[in-house]
Chain A
Amino acid sequence: MSKVTLNLERSTGGSPPPSEGDLYSKRQQIYPKLAHGKFRTFKWLVMAATLGVYYLIPWLRWERGEGIPDQAVLADFASEKFYFFSIEIWPQEAYYLAGLLILASLLLFLLTSLMGRFWCGYTCPQTVWTDLYIWVERAFEGDRAARIRLDKAPMSFNKAWRKLGKHTVWLIIAFWTGGAFILYWHDAPTVARGWFTGEAPLSAYWFAGILTVTTYFLAGTMREQVCTYMCPWPRIQGALTDEHALNVTYRYDRGEPRGPHRKNESWDGRGDCIDCNQCVQVCPMGIDIRDGSQLECIHCALCIDACDEIMKRVDRPTGLIAYDTDTAVAARAVGQEPPKYRLIRPRTVLYATLMAAIGSLMLFGLMTRATLEVNVLKDRSPQFVRLAEGDIRNGYTLKLVNKASTSREIDLTISGIEGVAAEIVGIDGETDGVITLPVAAHGVDRYRLLITAPAGDSQRRISLSLSDTETGETITTQAPFRSPR
């Protein structure tokens, strides 16, 4: 770390100020080396899957009917609907979104208690995009040693075109990322075409721009600093993991004392670690896993691949660095048999149970949710009006929400007060106390409802019964009926 001294301009005299120490430490560029092995392969697969999902999902079509978007996953802000395949969420059902977020965090908790920072190491967008960017960097500038050389070398044509090419590809990926993001909020083919012809909404340009810039900087130039300094998760996860969780661990009981090893030398009295530094060189966070668990470690397991490769070469068993639990390492250190990995622990059971409960609750809600919803909004000004004959009338706005994809007719019946009479403005009167109201498909219909009743107690209630003329689906609701005291 380079020392940074404050350049305080001073006049003559006075004693020198006490040392302020470092105000900040300059970032040291990390040049992760390419690892080979099963975890590297797994990470490539996860990257392909997650990026594929992100870039391609908006292009999936899903037939829904006339006048409704046919995009499988779409947050349609213009018409205030969220579409997810066969599910259609209205704004008043945002609790499904809350449920989804709770499920996601519980899944994160569960994964953390089972295998530490699985999320950070494999699936976090910051990790995935950084990995992708490093791949591009490697393609242009070579692996670790070549990159270090290139950065130290003076500017030349060779250096210039490699740097330029890298940044260009980075920007293209960043733009793709931002561009794919806006597809989730608008009909994808329309907005993609409109984006280039200048017909897309202003917000689409804004968000594409923002995501382009953040992707470029977060994955290109900031990288591990995002995880170490900006992300709250490394701090939170300390409370979620425990000594039974699988963590990427350097088995110091086996590795120490470390030191260089020459061929044909005996392995007696020494550890398996030959201090080759490969685990440090492949680390995208620039840390040494042999220092033990640390905040910076995202558990990407690339050091496992690197170490295993070396162990094979020096003819020692692999797994000097491996997924292991703190209890197992501690037990081996004192020469005991490591305990078996405990999948079932109070916290894993708790998280799994909570997930199952919330998941089934949401599923139940989704499957049984009513396609008809009614809101009765009472006039507040005036609360009531006295008619010439002495009767009392209250005015209401009746809102009928039809989530079905067909229009329907709803029979309205009012009860609860002796001698009550109802009228809907613009609809021809009631027959046998029933008013039939048409409700459009996928829409909200508002009706002006007038209810007249004989004078009586100042605070009474009326019951509204609304039933579908075809399916018989019935909703009953109550509303206040006010009279003068």
Chain B
Amino acid sequence: MPLRGSPSKMKGLSMTNENDIKDVDAHSGVETTGHSWDGIKELNNPLPRWWLYIFYGCIAWAVVYMVLMPALPALPFTNGSHTPGLRQHSDRAIVNTTMAEVAETRRTEANALLSASLEEIETDRDLQQFAFAMGDSLFGDNCATCHGSGGQGSKGYPNLVDDVWLWDGTLEGIEYTLRHGIRQEGDDQTRFSVMPRFGADGLLEVSDIRDLTQYVVHLSGREADAEAISRAAPIYAAQCAFCHGAEGLGDRTQGAPNLTDAEWLYGSETSEIYDTIYNARNSHMPAWSGRLSEAEIKALSVYVHSFGGGE
């Protein structure tokens, strides 16, 4: 079998002798590789010189790269890691340095946020713009998963853009909620209230819950079963009015929602309201104190307040 490679090199090999059949292409006079594919043969032309030089250059570059940069893994002396290379290059270290530089450039503004009140931050042009920019990225990283990219919320996750607030929509109120969260275990200042599971815990009969559902539908100004409403009125007064108010207007100090408006966090359908009374809804929001810096919490408060719902 003919060897592939430079024909002149082949001449020097001992196995090459006069008896070897050289297959030479008649047209070009160039020796072929001897392989034939459906009668098609490949000319054994030498590689272009420039191609060869680039190839050698790549090999040289690879050697230089291995010396300079992290390259060889799992050697005995690399301690489970890799050879560090002369340049000690590390993308992770670069990221850390860059982040530290960014933090340093932001330090002045962040300090300004700390010493200003939330109202001052919102009304001062420079502080406001900085808080918006900071808040925008923080909101995207931490809040948008539940509250939506623009704070529009979704079922079970409050809309921060409208003017309906379960707890408090003032700058200070938003900051408090951010800091301590809602029903956050281990934070004794967290916003806390519990709606009883009237059905699941057997506090009320199923028929009573059905009647109450009609009563709540009626509270929000919609058509409902009149008989059920009259049956449910005393139950509402006894079980619900303490938190939601006699007229169903809710109570912000307890996070009890207003039942008379068009805003329904868990849905306005009869079945959904029934489900809420039967199983109760006690959702959570994490406390961000400690997870975000003080400046970040203040920036985020102003940012959320600026969505439009802020009071």
Contact = CB atoms under 8 A, between A and B. Distances in A.
Nearest to A445: B125
B128 A9 contact: no
A426 B303 CA distance: 11
Contact of B164 (A9, A15, A388, A393): A388
Interface stretch (A49-57, A170-178, A205-213, A379-387): A379-387
Given A11-B11, A13-B24, A382 B29 contact: no
B261 A381 contact: no
A275 B117 CA distance: 93
Interface in B155-198: 159, 161-164
Contacts of B307: 395
Interface in A393-412: 393, 395
Given A9-B8, A10-B7, A446-B129, A382 B161 contact: yes
Nearest to B133: A446
A419 interface: no
Interchain residue pairs A-B with the least CB separation, the first 10: A382-B152, A381-B150, A14-B24, A14-B29, A11-B7, A425-B306, A385-B161, A450-B308, A9-B8, A426-B122
Contacts, number: 91
A3 to B, nearest CB: 18
18 contacts: A10-B30, A11-B24, A11-B31, A16-B29, A381-B148, A381-B149, A385-B152, A385-B159, A387-B162, A387-B163, A388-B162, A388-B263, A393-B162, A426-B124, A426-B125, A426-B128, A428-B123, A438-B125
Given A382-B148, A445-B125, A10 B162 contact: no
A446 B126 CA distance: 10
Given A10-B7, A12-B22, A382-B159, 18 more contacts: A11-B7, A15-B26, A17-B29, A380-B150, A382-B152, A385-B152, A386-B162, A387-B162, A388-B163, A388-B164, A388-B258, A393-B162, A395-B161, A426-B125, A445-B125, A446-B132, A448-B306, A450-B308
Contacts of A395: 150, 161, 307-308
A11 B150 contact: no
B94 interface: no
B145 interface: no
A344 interface: no
Contacts of A386: 162, 262
B240 to A, nearest CB: 20
Which of B25, B162, B261 counts the most A-chain CB atoms under 10 A from its CB? B162
A289 to B, nearest CB: 37
B46 interface: yes
A8 B46 contact: yes
Interface string B8-29: 1011000000000010111011
A390 interface: yes
Contacts of B45: 8
A125 B43 CA distance: 47
B6 interface: yes
Contact of B262 (A14, A388, A438, A445): A388
Nearest to A16: B29
A393 B132 CA distance: 20
B129 A8 contact: no
B69 to A, nearest CB: 20
Interface of chain A, main secondary structure: loop
Nearest to B148: A381
Nearest to A381: B150
A382 to B, nearest CB: 4
Contacts of A390: 262
A10 B262 contact: no
Which of A12, A390, A395, A425 counts the most B-chain CB atoms under 10 A from its CB? A425
A379 B307 CA distance: 10
Interface string B98-137: 0000000000000000000000001111001100100000
A17 B25 CA distance: 10
Interface of A: 8-17, 379-382, 385-388, 390, 393, 395, 425-428, 438, 445-446, 448, 450
Nearest to A440: B125
B303 to A, nearest CB: 10
A14 B31 contact: yes
A325 B6 CA distance: 59
Which of A13, A14, A15 counts the most B-chain CB atoms under 10 A from its CB? A14
A448 B122 CA distance: 11
A380 B151 CA distance: 11
Contacts of B162: 385-388, 393
A17 B159 contact: no
B165 to A, nearest CB: 10
Contacts of B129: 446
A387 B262 CA distance: 9
Nearest to B305: A425
A13 B22 contact: yes
B306 to A, nearest CB: 4
Contacts of B124: 426
A241 to B, nearest CB: 38
A416 to B, nearest CB: 19
Nearest to B46: A9
B159 A425 contact: no
A432 B159 CA distance: 31
A10 B150 contact: no
Contact of B8 (A11, A14, A381, A448): A11
B30 A8 contact: yes
Given A381-B148, A382-B150, A388-B162, A11 B22 contact: yes
Contacts of A380: 150
Contacts of A16: 29
Nearest to B31: A11
A188 B132 CA distance: 36
A17 B150 contact: no
B261 A388 contact: yes
Contacts of B8: 9, 11
A246 B102 CA distance: 62
